[in-house]
Amino acid sequence: MNTHFPCKRISEDGYELWLRYVPVAQPALAEYRAALTHIVIDGVSATLQAARDELVFALPCLLGASVPLADTAGRGALVAGTPHRSPLIAALDLEADLAGVGDEGYVITAVPGAEPNRIVIAANTDIGVLYGVFHFLRHLQTHQPLRGLRVVSAPKIRLRMLNHWDNLDGTVERGYAGFSLWDWHKLPDYLDPRYTDYARANASIGINAVSLTNVNANALVLTRPYLVKAAALADVFRPYGIRVFLTARFSAPIEIGGLDTADPLDPAVIAWWRAKADEIYAHIPDFGGFLVKANSEGQPGPHDYGRSHSDGANLLADALAPHGGVVIWRAFVYDENVAEDRARQAYSDLAPQDGRFRPNALLQVKNGPIDFQPREPYHPLFGAMPRTPLMLEVQITQEYLGHATHLVYLAPLFAETLDADTGCAGPGSLVAHVVDGSLDGHALSGMAGVSNIGSDRNWCGHPFAAANWYAFGRLAWDHRLSTEQIADEWLRVTFGNDERFVEPAKAMMILSREAVVNYMTPLGLHHIMARNHHYGPGPWVAGGRRDWTSVYYHQAGPDGIGFDRTASGSNAIGQYCSPFRELVADLDTCPEEYLLWFHRVAWDHTMKSGRTLWDELCLRYQHGVEMVREMQRTWDALSGYVDAARFEHVRTLLAIQEKEARWWRDACLLYFQTFSGRPLPKGVEPPEESLEYYLNLTHYYVPGIPERRFG
Ligand code: BDP
């Protein structure tokens, strides 16, 4: 870390993320220089040291002036700390505010009175101080005034977690930004400085938990050599308030324990997991717990022994409980041998088990009932299990949204789920209130994002993909933040504060999610990506495992298209509470963005626009392409505000996105046309190639495909 003044020039290759700390411009600069002349942080701890380091690094860069550490607070002091360690803070009248911010929140205030310029960052804990420091630095990076500054902030959700799907061989399942950050081979002895920068970035947006390994788990990570490696990472992350979790393969007692069963009710299995938990805590005293994918997509689980998911979760919960750990059990469960609509299966299996999970178990539910699609209705489990803390899982990595090549700002997708009203406990029972625990009175709460981070120098591949990591953290901290505000912040700290840049770039970001929905899966279509790697369109995918084919999901035929999930079909709609259930059940009131998700609709059905479904579908695809072109025009006009390297990088990726949007449009419309038998309406550009051509495209070595698995 650079602790010297003058500040080093930053590389502008994306490595610094949103912690660039470039010089502040006037008029903010004058106010900052007068108000921030030295830093006082009393107390000794690794976390307070991280707070000190960050300020000592950032302030000279931002202010273009030396801002030294000092022991005493004079005029212009920035004082940070807790009332327990800092007499200066204890002397201030902050008890009432601090009482409300818990063990991670903070208060930032300009203290009136004898020292008019004094700014105080106060918290009950050291990690609260660090979070406050990052908030304050963001305040300066976004050139906001200090006069009257007053922030009282605490996270709404307890576990704000990244799920890395990183394999021990260095590959990342559904990772599009290079290889894994974790260099398992050189750990524990070589600690890449990136680990610290990763932790800083996470702490700066409030992320406090990371699961290091793929949910399609390799039991080896629970063996001693790997625990030592994981412990080394945990040591790096600890000062930044981050707890480490590992994925637990349910059959580990067999694979690495020498047992002949993994039956959750077997005494030897119970004893094995208890001993394993004891061993892990000996290496990582603040180990967070296990994240588990079981009986899903070929993973082992309690069903293999005729036991329930709660039996499986409780086995691990009991092993972790003496140490204060939690088990996060994934609700992403479905079975190819079950005839039931895949969208219904998790609810059918898990909802009846509400109340059977241990107090230290959370159930992690994907935002929608299928699988991280560009748009899904919210998962019906939200609202259906009031006695179980439900975590929300979203995918930050863009498996189904153009990988790291397409510019798609995901905050609107995350917010759409958080803001959905389940109605299950009356009007206003938002998914956000289920997830933050407030609706059902749960102290445990969590939100997980499947990470998009890899070894690429800029961390996430696409320069704009970092916005999704950022937005995830900000929303997990406070789900009431608007997607516009988060985009605004991220653009300012990532590129600069010029309004002539920020406003159009923000509009482009907000538009981008709807663009991808339109050019990939408009009107409620879903899971029509190419087989296996999910790169590009594959609406024709058929054969093999039924619930992994596109034809299963779109059901197109000469009479129409869409999945009938009404009472006359799979009745997945019946899993929702009123009034959403009735809203979507009625073809006339079902929002068109969910039309083909819930209904099978005739090609000549009249849409709200007055057009037929076929014409509307075609025009949505066309509109998606046009939206990308609009994004291109916006970006091109911003060249004067962005350094050449990042400008060119984004410009080129947008060109690929436009090309691939056309590919999606042409391939899907030609294919669906074989059923509709209708011409493309006016306004839709003619396809560039034949259907045959698109059908025969084969892509080798697409990134993000999993390793050959252990066992
Ligand atoms: C699917 C991915 C698969 C993951 C799975 C999961 O294609 O690679 O293992 O999600 O969430 O979308 O477990």
Q: Pick the range with the lowest mean pLDDT from 6-20, 127-141, 299-313.
A: 6-20
Candidates 174, 292, 328: which one to mutate for ligand 1, based on the most atoms within 8 Å of Cβ? 174
Q: Single out the catalytic residue among 31, 297, 354, 478.
A: 297
- Do 110 and 84 belong together in one domain? yes
For residue 388, give both structure tokens: 């179980």
Give the single-character DSSP code of 215.
S
Identify the CATH number of the domain in which residue 381 sits: 3.20.20.80
Give pLDDT tens digits for 588-616. 999 999 999 999 999 999 999 999 999 99
Q: Which of residues 259 and 1 earns the better pLDDT score?
A: 259
Domain end, chosen from 153, 169, 201, is at: 153
Residue 683, in any domain of the structure:
yes
Judge contact between 374 and 390, C-beta under 8 A. Answer: no
Tell me how long the chain is: 711
- Do 431 and 401 belong together in one domain? yes
Residue 357, in any domain of the structure:
yes
What is the helix (H) or strand (E) element at residue 120, kind and residue range?
Answer: strand 119-122
The DSSP annotation for 134-172 comes to HHHHHHHHTT---TT-EEEE--S-SEEEEE--B-TTS-B
Judge contact between 265 and 311, C-beta under 8 A. Answer: yes
- Do 149 and 166 belong together in one domain? no
Q: Is the pLDDT of residue 666 over 90?
A: yes
Q: Give the three-state DSSP class for 448.
A: strand
Using a pLDDT cut of 90, give the percent of the chain over it. 94
Domain that holds residue 220: 159-484
Candidates 399, 401, 709: which one to mutate for ligand 1, based on the most atoms within 8 Å of Cβ? 399
Q: Is the pLDDT of residue 404 over 70?
A: yes
Residue 174, in any domain of the structure:
yes
Q: Single out the catalytic residue among 42, 104, 318, 371.
A: 371
- Do 444 and 522 belong together in one domain? no
Q: How far apart are CA 576 and CA 516, in angstroms?
A: 26
For residue 320, give both structure tokens: 């972790």
**Mean pLDDT calculated for residue range 560-581:** 98
Q: pLDDT value at position 115?
A: 56
Positive or negative CA dihedral for 290, 294, 299, 301?
A: positive
Nearest CA to ligand 1 atom 13: 215
Q: Give the three-state DSSP class for 528.
A: coil
**488 is annotated as an active-site residue:** no
Question: What pTM was estimated for this model as a whole?
Answer: 0.97
Using a pLDDT cut of 70, give the percent of the chain over it. 97
Task: Give the model's confidence band at 705: pLDDT under 50 very low, under 70 low, under 90 confident, else very high.
Answer: confident
Give the single-character DSSP code of 191.
-
- Nearest atom in ligand 1 to the alpha carbon of residue 174 is 8
Give pLDDT tens digits for 619-658. 999 999 999 999 999 999 999 999 999 999 999 999 999 9
Domain end, chosen from 102, 133, 153, is at: 153
Q: Is the pLDDT of residue 3 over 50?
A: no
Nearest CA to ligand 1 atom 11: 332
Q: pLDDT value at position 609?
A: 98
Q: Is the pLDDT of residue 290 over 80?
A: yes
Residue 502, in any domain of the structure:
no
What is the CA(327)–ligand 1 centre distance, in A?
A: 19
- Do 405 and 549 belong together in one domain? no
First CA to last CA across the chain, in angstroms?
42
What is the CA(214)–ligand 1 centre distance, in A?
A: 10
- Nearest atom in ligand 1 to the alpha carbon of residue 704 is 8
**Mean pLDDT calculated for residue range 58-84:** 94
**399 is annotated as an active-site residue:** yes
Give residues (CB < 6 A) around ligand 1.
Answer: 173-174, 215-216, 293, 297, 332, 371-372, 399
Q: Is the pLDDT of residue 674 over 80?
A: yes
Q: pLDDT value at position 112?
A: 67
- Do 244 and 341 belong together in one domain? yes
- Do 188 and 301 belong together in one domain? yes
What is the helix (H) or strand (E) element at residue 210, kind and residue range?
Answer: strand 209-211
Query: How many separate domains does the chain show?
Result: 3
Strand partners, 395: 450
What is the CA(159)–ligand 1 centre distance, in A?
A: 21
Q: How far apart are CA 283 and CA 275, in angstroms?
A: 13
Cβ count near 639 (within 10 Å): 11
Q: Is the pLDDT of residue 708 over 80?
A: no
Q: How far is CA 457 from CA 11, 15, 325, 462, in A?
A: 11, 6, 34, 11
**Mean pLDDT calculated for residue range 346-362:** 98
Q: Nearest to residue 525, comparing CAs of 560, 558, 559?
A: 560
Q: pLDDT value at position 574?
A: 98
CA dihedral 297, 298, 304, 308 (to 10 degrees): -20
Residue 191: partners with Cβ closer than 8 Å, 6 or more residues away:
232, 236
Residue 259, in any domain of the structure:
yes
**266 is annotated as an active-site residue:** no
- The 3-state DSSP composition of the chain as helix, strand, coil percent (nearest 5) reads 40, 10, 50
Task: Give the model's confidence band at 118: pLDDT under 50 very low, under 70 low, under 90 confident, else very high.
Answer: confident
- Do 368 and 273 belong together in one domain? yes
pLDDT averaged over every residue in the chain = 96
Task: Give the model's confidence band at 1: pLDDT under 50 very low, under 70 low, under 90 confident, else very high.
Answer: very low
Q: What angle do CA 378, 155, 393 make, to 5 degrees?
A: 30
What is the CA(395)–ligand 1 centre distance, in A?
A: 10
Domain end, chosen from 134, 153, 172, is at: 153
- Do 608 and 462 belong together in one domain? no
Q: pLDDT value at position 707?
A: 52
3-state secondary structure 425-440: CECCCEHHHHHCCCCC
- Do 164 and 99 belong together in one domain? no
Give pLDDT tens digits for 153-178. 999 999 999 999 999 999 999 999 99
- Nearest atom in ligand 1 to the alpha carbon of residue 296 is 13
Q: Single out the catalytic residue among 255, 399, 416, 616.
A: 399
Residue 543, in any domain of the structure:
yes
- Do 681 and 550 belong together in one domain? yes
Q: Nearest to residue 496, comparing CAs of 14, 142, 58, 139?
A: 142
Identify the CATH number of the domain in which residue 528 sits: 3.90.1330.10
Strand partners, 161: 209, 448
Judge contact between 528 and 668, C-beta under 8 A. Answer: yes
What is the CA(706)–ligand 1 centre distance, in A?
A: 10
Cβ count near 306 (within 10 Å): 9
Give pLDDT tens digits for 372-398. 999 999 999 999 999 999 999 999 999
Task: Give the model's confidence band at 455: pLDDT under 50 very low, under 70 low, under 90 confident, else very high.
Answer: very high
Identify the CATH number of the domain in which residue 84 sits: 3.30.379.10
- Do 355 and 469 belong together in one domain? yes
**Mean pLDDT calculated for residue range 452-457:** 98
Residue 68, in any domain of the structure:
yes
Q: Give the three-state DSSP class for 353.
A: helix
**Mean pLDDT calculated for residue range 178-191:** 98
What is the CA(473)–ligand 1 centre distance, in A?
A: 21
Judge contact between 473 and 419, C-beta under 8 A. Answer: no
Residue 200, in any domain of the structure:
yes
What is the helix (H) or strand (E) element at residue 624, kind and residue range?
Answer: helix 613-636
What is the CA(545)–ligand 1 centre distance, in A?
A: 15
Give pLDDT tens digits for 456-511. 999 999 999 999 999 999 999 999 999 999 999 999 999 999 999 999 999 999 99
Q: pLDDT value at position 477?
A: 98
